Chains A and B, each alone.
Chain A
């Protein structure tokens, strides 16, 4: 028994030591900076609370994250469904289509979007060419650009859990529903959707959390007009050398995330349907 435990400890030790030294300790150190302002332990939080800019950025970040999550989930649904129905070569092709972007650096993908979304870029020229608009649309350096880029980067994170849930749904349940007299809408609402829901919520949670802390894509595609929390924190450090403010901002973001996660776990039926055969 004790020997067994010793083995477990030995096996876990390297990874634990690594995480402790290089992640937990620096994180704790960073957060402790939040309480070291000359004005007092909680002065940084007071500054943030009173700052109009900080509040606006916080709200904007949340709005962008919610919008990105909704758009991503809606786009992911049909892709995940198609994946769950495909077989053999076409399945492999579709799966690599979904995963392929992972092989390309986020930076490269974001710069590509800058070229595509430019004022005189291919997308604006196409839209003008087919007569959708007379003036070039402002697709870059605003929330629109940020959302387009983020949805693109985060889409696989929503597709994969959703696919995993859908592929496990027994087709005979749908036949059974059909045989019991349910129309397509009833079968979807009462059987398919509830059984796919855990995957949907899992994917949505991933996407939402990732978009709250996203930096590169909003920084390049949003610029000064669409500042997110991570950009603000970065500017505290690089522009104003205000480490304590940056630490306080990070801590608030972490707390917000934890609270939202806790609420999601309480309110949403994350475990329902998990037992689906």
Chain B
């Protein structure tokens, strides 16, 4: 059975109230999460947010303190990693240094007592899949970081895992290489549709790769959704700040009507009406979110601001604008406007491009 034909497989993965405590410290608070079959889901968050804990629970390297875990319809809560049929790619690859490339890839098949000729054939197919044909006899130490990363991927894929798990697999690569491997990973997932959970702290990587993204903080999932859900409709200031560039101005909610809210924004010296995130409460601290590309220059009526900094980014120029209250905003404009530091401008935004989110 060849690797390409084997797939369209992959099983769903479900956490039901899964939690992990170390003494009094909760590394993961009770979490429900369902990863559909064939889905590419990214766990995105800063270090210590619980994303690696969640991945290790899925792999079976950790046992949950509470809750249950299912792969497909099978409960695996207390099943060790070796009996879960998962494929794991580690951050530092964890390739066996005393084995050749081919032996590394063959490992999972050998311990499954797969027949020798079959092992050889599948190892070759897996190496071809990651474009390392002919590298079977090389020593691991002879490979570059990017090549080692692909060996780790081949080793995880060759066993045809029900779920592929990746823990910051591109963390050790330089930026340019990372971009090309990202596209490679996406191509592989589109071809083979293997259920994948991917851990990263790099939001750009998450946006490029994922069907859905779970943004994590302090051991819980803050928001789960598609890239545009998270970018256009963040549920709070943390998610807004973590995905994309954002201006967040402290605000106090005064009134909520349906999906709109009114808030006092000190930095603007007046009240603002904007789209409301769910969970807003009148009187509570909140933040006004405006993405830099939504800040309009020369709006009338507008808010007076001074350009304090210009950053040339090629086709775009980033502007840092000081508001009357002293706070600053970032804006982005197509390069070519006659903009100078110190210029007074009038700024504004469309109402549906501003959003009030819980702080």
Mark A residues whose CB is within 8 Å of B.
170, 172-173, 175-183, 186, 190-191, 194-195, 272-273, 275-277
> A179, B111: Cβ atoms under 8 Å?
no
In Å, the complex CA distance between A275 and B83 comes to: 30
In Å, the complex CA distance between A272 and B60 comes to: 31
List the B side residues contacting A186 at CB < 8 Å: 111
> A191, B96: Cβ atoms under 8 Å?
yes
Chain B residue with the shortest CB-CB distance to A176: B94
| Contact indicator per residue, chain B 301-335, by CB within 8 Å of chain A (1) or not (0) | 00000000000000000000000000000000000
> A178, B81: Cβ atoms under 8 Å?
yes
> A182, B82: Cβ atoms under 8 Å?
yes
Q: Give min CB distance, B259 to chain A, whole Å.
A: 45
Q: Assess A183 versus B82: contact at CB under 8 Å? Given A172-B94, A273-B98.
A: yes
Kindly identify which residue among B82, B97, B98 contacts A179, using a CB–CB cutoff of 8 Å: B82
List the A side residues contacting B289 at CB < 8 Å: none
- 7 smallest A-B Cβ distances: which pairs? A180-B108, A182-B111, A176-B94, A172-B94, A179-B88, A273-B98, A179-B81
Q: Give min CB distance, B54 to chain A, whole Å.
A: 16
B80 close to chain A: CB less than 8 A: yes
Q: Give min CB distance, B283 to chain A, whole Å.
A: 49
> B98, A195: Cβ atoms under 8 Å?
yes
Mark B residues whose CB is within 8 Å of A.
59-61, 80-88, 90, 92, 94-98, 107-108, 110-112, 141, 155-156, 159
In Å, the complex CA distance between A183 and B112 comes to: 10
Supplied contacts A175-B94, A179-B86, A183-B111, 8 more A-B pairs, CB within 8 Å: A170-B94, A173-B94, A173-B96, A180-B111, A182-B108, A186-B111, A195-B98, A273-B97
Chain A residue with the shortest CB-CB distance to B84: A179
Name 15 interchain pairs, CB-CB below 8 A, sorted by A: A175-B94, A177-B111, A178-B81, A179-B60, A179-B61, A179-B81, A179-B82, A179-B84, A180-B108, A180-B155, A181-B112, A186-B111, A191-B96, A272-B98, A273-B97
Chain B residue with the shortest CB-CB distance to A191: B96
Q: Give min CB distance, B110 to chain A, whole Å.
A: 8
In Å, the complex CA distance between A30 and B358 comes to: 90
In Å, the complex CA distance between A273 and B61 comes to: 25
Query: Of A177, A181, A182, A191, which is in contact with the most chain B CB atoms at under 10 Å from its CB?
Result: A181
Chain B residue with the shortest CB-CB distance to A269: B98
> A194, B88: Cβ atoms under 8 Å?
no
In Å, the complex CA distance between A85 and B141 comes to: 27
In Å, the complex CA distance between A134 and B218 comes to: 67
Q: Give min CB distance, B228 to chain A, whole Å.
A: 33
Chain B residue with the shortest CB-CB distance to A273: B98
In Å, the complex CA distance between A172 and B84 comes to: 17
Chain B residue with the shortest CB-CB distance to A169: B97
> B98, A176: Cβ atoms under 8 Å?
no
In Å, the complex CA distance between A60 and B108 comes to: 46
In Å, the complex CA distance between A7 and B190 comes to: 65
In Å, the complex CA distance between A170 and B96 comes to: 10
In Å, the complex CA distance between A170 and B90 comes to: 12
Kindly identify which residue among A172, A173, A180, A273 contacts B159, using a CB–CB cutoff of 8 Å: A180
> A182, B107: Cβ atoms under 8 Å?
yes
List the A side residues contacting B86 at CB < 8 Å: 179
List the A side residues contacting B112 at CB < 8 Å: 181
Q: Give min CB distance, A193 to chain B, whole Å.
A: 10
Q: Assess A194 versus B107: contact at CB under 8 Å? Given A179-B81, A181-B85, A182-B82.
A: no
In Å, the complex CA distance between A277 and B96 comes to: 9
Chain B residue with the shortest CB-CB distance to A174: B94
Query: Of B82, B90, B95, B98, which is in contact with the most chain A CB atoms at under 10 Å from its CB?
Result: B98
Q: Assess A275 versus B141: contact at CB under 8 Å? Given A172-B92, A190-B111.
A: yes
List the B side residues contacting A277 at CB < 8 Å: 97
Kindly identify which residue among B82, B96, B97, B156 contacts A178, using a CB–CB cutoff of 8 Å: B82
> B61, A276: Cβ atoms under 8 Å?
no
> B88, A176: Cβ atoms under 8 Å?
yes
In Å, the complex CA distance between A176 and B89 comes to: 8
Chain A residue with the shortest CB-CB distance to B80: A178
Q: Assess A175 versus B61: contact at CB under 8 Å? Given A181-B82, A181-B111.
A: yes
List the B side residues contacting A195 at CB < 8 Å: 97-98
In Å, the complex CA distance between A277 and B95 comes to: 10
List the A side residues contacting B111 at CB < 8 Å: 177, 180-183, 186, 190
In Å, the complex CA distance between A183 and B107 comes to: 12
List the B side residues contacting A272 at CB < 8 Å: 98
Q: Give min CB distance, B149 to chain A, whole Å.
A: 14
Chain A residue with the shortest CB-CB distance to B83: A181
Q: Give min CB distance, B166 to chain A, whole Å.
A: 12
> A181, B108: Cβ atoms under 8 Å?
yes
List the A side residues contacting B94 at CB < 8 Å: 170, 172-173, 175-176
List the A side residues contacting B82 at CB < 8 Å: 178-183
Chain A residue with the shortest CB-CB distance to B152: A176
Q: Give min CB distance, A173 to chain B, whole Å.
A: 5
List the B side residues contacting A273 at CB < 8 Å: 97-98
Q: Give min CB distance, B351 to chain A, whole Å.
A: 51
Q: Assess A275 versus B155: contact at CB under 8 Å? Given A172-B92, A176-B90.
A: no
Q: Give min CB distance, A272 to chain B, whole Å.
A: 6
List the A side residues contacting B98 at CB < 8 Å: 194-195, 272-273, 275-276
In Å, the complex CA distance between A195 and B95 comes to: 13
Chain A residue with the shortest CB-CB distance to B155: A180
In Å, the complex CA distance between A228 and B60 comes to: 55
> B59, A179: Cβ atoms under 8 Å?
yes
In Å, the complex CA distance between A186 and B96 comes to: 14
Chain B residue with the shortest CB-CB distance to A184: B82
Q: Give min CB distance, A113 to chain B, whole Å.
A: 40
